[in-house]
Structure 1
């Protein structure tokens, strides 16, 4: 695993640029070190976080909006204040039903995000 060091201790959201992560989806890489990463993800209504899997553990907090979330064979509608956990190597994705924001936490760091983002 490549090391990216650690983020600054204080990160000001308005000073971090949004990165396009898909049609109607953008993200900001926030705090991180090699073991953990927090990412803000903004979705417009109708946008899709395509089904995918990765070796990272993931916990996601729904800040606002409404999402149809698929984890493995299960599907649920989640709204602001809800949360979900995705174990490593489990197929998952989301459809945004109402514009909103998710906060993703990954362990370990998503190296692929760091290689494309580099805007912090």
Structure 2
């Protein structure tokens, strides 16, 4: 395997990676086939519309988000979730500060670029 995380991930000892205005992440457990990412949004933070080849499922830990998948938009809050098929455009607007847990399959290698600590 090209990528493989530690077996146990303690996010309290990890630094946030700023990825956009009002949005930062911590890459958690992963290998070449799957990846889990914690994403923290400030109110008004935008996950710009984009698409990727990976399947994605997301759990809303807390906060409130306006999520658009394809042409469908829904307001989601803590305890909700959503699924994004491969190559479907999607994005999110944070209405109330919150955290999402994203799971991708296979791994988002573009998230690993520039950080040699992720490679084996």
Change in 2 beyond 3 A, CA 1:117/1:24: farther
Contact 1:64 1:101 in 2 (8 A): yes
Report whether the alignment pairs 1:60 with 2:52: no
Deviations, residues 72-111 of structure 1 (Å, cap 9, x unaligned): 0000000000000000000000000000000000000000
Q: Which residue of 1 aligns with 2:112?
A: 114
1:116 Cα offset (Å):
4.0
Structure 2: gaps of 5 or more residues: none
Structure 1: gaps of 5 or more residues: none
Contact 1:69 1:92 in 2 (8 A): yes
**The residue matched to 1:14 in structure 2 has which SS?**
helix
Q: Which residue of 1 aligns with 2:76?
A: 78
**The residue matched to 1:81 in structure 2 has which SS?**
coil
**The residue matched to 1:9 in structure 2 has which SS?**
coil
Misfit runs of 4+, over 3 Å: 116-120
User: Which of 2, 5, 11 is matched with 1:4 structurally?
Assistant: 2
Change in 2 beyond 3 A, CA 1:71/1:88: same
Contact 1:17 1:119 in 2 (8 A): no
**The residue matched to 2:44 in structure 1 has which SS?**
coil
Provide TM-score, normalisation by structure 2. Answer: 0.94
Provide TM-score, normalisation by structure 1. Answer: 0.94
